[in-house]
Amino acid sequence: MEQKKQKPTAENETLIVSRRIQRVSLHLSPVPRPLHQHDTQEQLGLFPCARSAKLEVETEKLSLYMRGKYREIQEKIYEYFHARPELQTPLEISKDVHRELCWRQMYGLIKEAGIRPLKYVVEDPGKYFAIVEAAGAVDISLGIKLGVQYSLWGGSVINLGTKKHKDKYFEGIDSLDYPGCFAMTELHHGSNVQGLQTVATFDPITDEFIINTPSDGAIKWWIGNAAVHGKFASVFAKLMLPAQDVKGVSDMGVHAFIVPLRDLKTHQELPGIEIHDCGHKVGLNGVDNGALRFTSVRIPRDNLLNRFGDVSRDGKYTSSLPTINKRFAATLGELVGGRVSLASSSTSILKIANAIAIRYSLLRQQFGPPNQPEVSILDYQSQQHKLMPMLASTYAFHFATSYLVEIYSQMKTTHAEQLVGDVHGLSAGLKAYVTSYTAKSLSVCREACGGHGYAAVNRFGILRNDHDIFQTFEGDNTVLLQQVAADLLKQYKQKFQGGTLAVTWNYLRESMNTYLSQPNPVTARWEGVEHLRDPKFQLDAFRYRTSRLLQSAAVRLRKHSKTLGGFGAWNRCLNHLLTLAESHIESVILAKFIETVEKCPDASTRAALKLVCDLYALNHIWNDIGTYRNVDYVAPNKAKAIHKQTDYLSFQVRNIAKELVDAFDLPDHVTRAPIAMQSEAYAQYTQFVGF
C-alpha cells in the first residue's frame, strides 16, 4: 500500500533543507575513509535491497555461450599487442606519428603475427570480422585501416573482379605488398553514388581506359590509405564507350577500375595522379585520408573489374545484367561486407564503453542514507536507467550482429540466392541502428562516470571521436534506413501479389492480418508479470508497431504521390519511413534475442539472459508507450505495470551487471587498465573487488 503523502509543513521543509545542506557539505569535504584490503563488501555500501533475490550467474558459462568460433584469433591479436608496448597507441599522439604507428601495427599483424585477412575475406568471412573487431578494440584506427585494405580495396578486387584479377593481386594485397584504397566518394557526391562524375573512357586504339577528373567536384575525397600509404586504388567511374552509330560516347554507368597511384619501388606519385591530404580529423587520425585527382591517367583494359560488365578488344560492351540500374545494384551489393563489419565492430565498442562505465559505477560511491556508508552510484535508479537498458541492448546487438555475420558468411561461401535480400536489408538496417545507438551511448557512458569519465585515459573521448563517423561511412545511416523502408514496402506490395518474402521479413506475412485488426480489449488489460515477460506478448507488441507503421506508410505514400509525385511523397513521409525502418530492425533484434535465450542449454545462463532480454523488450515498449496507448493496444493499468516491471528488471540486471560485463571477456588492457591507472585509490578498489 502506498503511504499517504503528508503535506510538507514549513518546519519539516526546513529540516529537509538543512539535512540536504549537511550531506552536500559532507560531499564537498568528505571525511577521509581509507581503503584497506580487509574492507568488506559491506563497506562498499550496496543498498541492502540491491542484494536481494540476486540471480546466480556463472561468468565462464555465459562467456562461453557468447563467444563466437573465433575467440582464438582474437586472443592472438590481443596477446600480440600486449607483448609489444611500442605498438600500443599512446594517449597523446600527433596525426603523422599516429598514421605511421597505425601502419606499423597493421604491418606487424600481417608480417609478424602472420595473420592473413584476405584469405578469410574469401574463405571464412566470420573470422575476418573477428580480426577487425579485435584490432579495433586495440585502436579503432587500426580496425578501420584494416577494413580499407582488406574489405574495401581487397574486397572490391575479389568481388567485382574476375579470376585474372585475383591471380594478379590477391597475394600482394594479403601480404600488404600492395597497399590500396577504395576511391568511390567525390567532393560533390557521397551518398549519391550514381551521381559520380569521374570518367573512364575506352581508347580502342591503345586498348586502354583513360581516367579523368572532369571538375573539382569530381575529385575523389576522403579516400582512406590515399594520403600516405596507398599504391593502388579501385576507382569508381562512369564507363564511357565510343558510340557505334553517332559521334561521341555512351555512358555505361558506374564501374570500378584498378588504378596504380604510386610507384611500387620509389613510392612516387605516377603521371597524371595528384594526391592531397584531407588533414587532421575529429577522430581516426591513424588513417591517412586523401583526395585524388586524375588527369588522363591511362590503364590497361584488363584493369576494369569486369564481373558485372566487360569491354571487348573492339570496344563492345557485354553484361549478364540488362540495365545500368541492375549492374549498379549488383556492384554495390557486393560491398555489403563493410557494413557487416561496422555493425559488429560498433557492438564491440559499445561493450568496451559498457564495461568501463558499469565497472566504474559499481566502485564509485556518492552519498547514502544518514550515518551509513556512501552507496555505489549504480544503486541510484537514475544510473540504472542510464546503463542497464544499454547493457541489455549491447547483449541484443551482440546476438543480432552474430547472426548477421553468420548469414553473410553463408551467403558468401554457398552463394545461396535466397540469403541475398536478407543480408542486404539486415546489414543496412543493423549498421545504421547499432552505430547510431552506440554513438549516443558513448556520451551517456562518459557522463555516467562523472569527471573521471572525462580523463582521456578512460577512453570515452577517443572512443566517441573515433566511432562517430561509423554513422556516416559505408552508407550514411539516414540513407541506409531508407533502403530498409523501401525494401519493406516492396515486400508489403509483393505480399498482396502472393510473392515470397525474405526470411527476416517473414513475420510480416502473418502479422499484417493479425496485427491490423482492432487490438483485443481483453489482452490490452492483462498486466500479470508472467504475461509481460512472455516473449510472445513482447514480440507481438514490437511487430504490431512495425506492421501499423508499414501499413500507414503505404497508405500515406499512395495518397501523396498523386499530388507530389514519387520523390515528393517519399520526402513528405520521410520521418515516418525512418521510424518504420528502425521499428522493423528492433523487431528483428528482439526475435533473435528471444531465439538465443531459448536455445541456451545451461539453465542459470538462460535465466540471466532471459532477464536481460525482458529488460530490452519492456524498456522499448515503455519508451513507445504513447504509440501503444493511442490505439488502445495497451490499457492504462497495463502501461503502469510495464513501467513498474521495467524498473524492477533494471534493478535485477544491476545485481548481475558485474558478471554480465565480465562475460564480454575483453582483455584487461582494453577496459580494465584505464580505471586501475586512474589513481592509487582506484588501483586498490580494483584489486579489492577482484576486477
Ligand X SMILES: Cc1cc2nc3c(=O)[nH]c(=O)nc-3n(C[C@H](O)[C@H](O)[C@H](O)COP(=O)(O)OP(=O)(O)OC[C@H]3O[C@@H](n4cnc5c(N)ncnc54)[C@H](O)[C@@H]3O)c2cc1C
The grid coordinates listed for 121 are 575475406
Give the dihedral sign, CA 210/214/219/220.
Answer: negative
224 has binding-site annotation: yes
Q: Which residue is nearest to ligand X (CB)?
A: 190
Q: Which is nearer to ligand X, 224 or 309 (CB)?
A: 224
DSSP code per residue over 282-324: SS-TTS-EEEEEESSEEEEGGGB--SS-EE-TTS-EE-SS-SH
Per CB under 6 A, which region of 177-185, 227-235, 457-465, 560-568 contacts ligand X? 177-185
Q: Confirm whether residue 217 is marked as ligand binding.
A: no
Assess contact for 442 and 464: CB atoms under 8 A: yes
Task: Write down the least CB distance from residue 144 to ligand X, Å.
Answer: 8
Which residues are within 8 A (CB) of 9 and not within 5 positions of it... i.e. 6 or more apart?
Answer: none
Beta carbons of 70 and 115 less than 8 angstroms apart: no
Closest CA to 221 of 255, 192, 185: 185
Q: Which amino acid is residue 625, in one-letter code?
A: I
Q: How far is the CB of 175 from ligand X (least distance, A)?
A: 21
Do 317 and 305 form a contact (C-beta atoms < 8 A)? Answer: no
Stretch that binds ligand X, among 13-21, 30-38, 470-478, 511-519 (CB under 6 A): 470-478
Report the residue number, 156 or 401, with the smaller CB distance to ligand X. 156
Minimal distance, residue 445 CB to ligand X, in Å: 22
The string of DSSP codes covering 212-226 is: E--SGGGSEEEEETT
Does 277 bind ligand X (CB under 6 A)? Our answer is no
User: Which stretch in 69-77, 220-228, 414-422, 495-503 sits in contact with ligand X by CB under 6 A?
Assistant: 220-228
CB of 599 to ligand X, least distance (A): 37
Cα–Cα dist 128/117, whole Å: 6
User: Residue 523 to residues 548, 616, 629, 647: CA-CA distances in angstroms?
Assistant: 18, 21, 13, 22
Helix axes 337-363, 125-138, angle to 10 degrees: 40
Q: Which stretch binds ligand X (CB under 6 A): 298-306, 473-481, 517-525, 643-651?
A: 473-481
Contact at 8 Å (CB) between 615 and 649? Answer: yes
> Which one-letter amino acid corresponds to residue 377?
I
Q: 109, 218, 404, 469: which one contacts ligand X (CB under 6 A)?
A: 469
Using the rule CB under 6 A, which residue among 478, 483, 506, 552 binds ligand X? 478
Q: By C-beta, is 337 or 667 nearer to ligand X?
A: 337
Handedness of CA 69, 72, 77, 82 (dihedral sign): positive
Q: Which of 474, 527, 582, 586 is catalytic?
A: 474
Binding mask 287-326 for ligand X (x = CB under 6 A): --x-------------------------------------
Stretch that binds ligand X, among 339-347, 364-372, 476-484, 487-495 (CB under 6 A): 476-484
Q: Which stretch, 132-140, 181-189, 327-335, 398-406, contacts ligand X (CB under 6 A)?
A: 181-189
Phi, psi values for residue 499, rounded to 5°: -75, 175
- When the beta carbons of 115 and 148 are compared against ligand X, the nearer one is 148
Binding ligand X by CB under 6 A: which of 87, 137, 184, 524? 184
Judged by CB under 6 A, which of 22, 191, 194, 418 binds ligand X?
Answer: 191
> Grid coordinates 608496448 are at which residue?
85
Residues 429-468 that bind ligand X (CB under 6 A): none
Angle between helices 574-599 and 603-623 (to 10 degrees): 160
Alpha carbons 420 and 334: distance in angstroms, whole number: 10
Instruction: Report the residue number, 234 or 409, with the smaller CB distance to ligand X.
Output: 234
Indicate whether 684 belongs to the interface with ligand X (CB under 6 A). Answer: no
For position 148 contacting ligand X by CB under 6 A, the verdict is yes
User: Which residue among 78, 120, 129, 182 contacts ligand X (CB under 6 A)?
Assistant: 182
Quick note: the x/- pattern for ligand X over 342-381, rule CB under 6 A, is ----------------------------------------
How many chain residues bind ligand X (CB under 6 A)?
Answer: 20
Applying CB under 6 A, the span of 219-227, 328-336, 412-420, 633-641 interacting with ligand X comes to 219-227
Nearer residue to ligand X within complex by CB, 478 or 561:
478
**544 binds ligand X per the rule CB under 6 A:** no
Residue 341, helix vs strand vs coil: helix
627 to each of 542, 624, 635, how far by Cα in Å? 11, 6, 12
Phi-psi region of 271 (alpha: psi -120 to 50; beta: other; left: phi over 0): beta
Should residue 179 be labelled a site residue for ligand X when binding is judged by CB under 6 A? no
Does 194 bind ligand X (CB under 6 A)? Our answer is no
- Our answer to whether residue 474 is catalytic in this structure is yes
Interface residue with ligand X, options 185, 198, 583, 671 (CB under 6 A): 185
256 in contact with ligand X (CB under 6 A): no
Residue 255: CB minimum distance to ligand X, A: 15
For Cα atoms 51, 54, 60, give the angle at the middle one, nearest 5 degrees.
Answer: 120
Is 617 a residue that touches ligand X (CB under 6 A)? no
Q: Name which of 44 and 135 has its Cβ closer to ligand X.
A: 135
Residues 6 or more apart in contact with residue 161 via CB below 8 angstroms: 169, 258, 305, 306, 307
Neighbouring-strand partners of residue 52: none
Asked whether the beta carbons of 303 and 310 are under 8 A apart, the reply is no
For ligand X, the closer CB: 126 or 290: 290
Q: Is 45 in the site for ligand X (CB under 6 A)?
A: no
Cβ nearer to ligand X, comparing 329 with 681:
329
Distances (CA, A) of 324 to 198, 242, 308, 318: 16, 17, 10, 12
Binding test (CB under 6 A) with ligand X, winner from 468, 476, 540, 624: 476
Residue 55 or 479 having the CB closest to ligand X:
479
Residue 573 in the binding site for ligand X (CB under 6 A): no
The C-alpha cell at 605 is 545462463
Considering only 32-40, 48-56, 247-255, 471-479, which stretch makes contact with ligand X by CB under 6 A?
A: 471-479
CA nearest to 616, candidates 637, 580, 588: 588
Helix axes 381-414, 337-363, angle to 10 degrees: 150
CA-nearest of 358, 434, 377, 436 to 400 is 434
CA distances from 452 to 40, 110, 361, 468 (A): 24, 36, 11, 21
Closest approach of ligand X to the CB of residue 281, in Å: 6
Phi, psi of 98 (to 5 degrees): -65, -40
Q: Rounded to the nearest whole angstrom, what is the least distance from the CB of residue 224 to ligand X in the complex?
A: 3
Q: Among 172, 179, 180, 224, which residue interacts with ligand X (rule: CB under 6 A)? A: 224
Identified binder of ligand X from the candidate list 472, 523, 604, 684, rule CB under 6 A? 472
CB of 456 to ligand X, least distance (A): 21
Nearer to ligand X, 405 or 469 (CB): 469
Binding residues: 185, 224
Q: Which residues are annotated as catalytic?
A: 474
Site residues (CB under 6 A) for ligand X? 148, 152, 182-185, 190-191, 222-224, 281, 284, 289, 469, 472-473, 476, 478-479
List, as residue ranges, the binding site for FAD. 185, 224
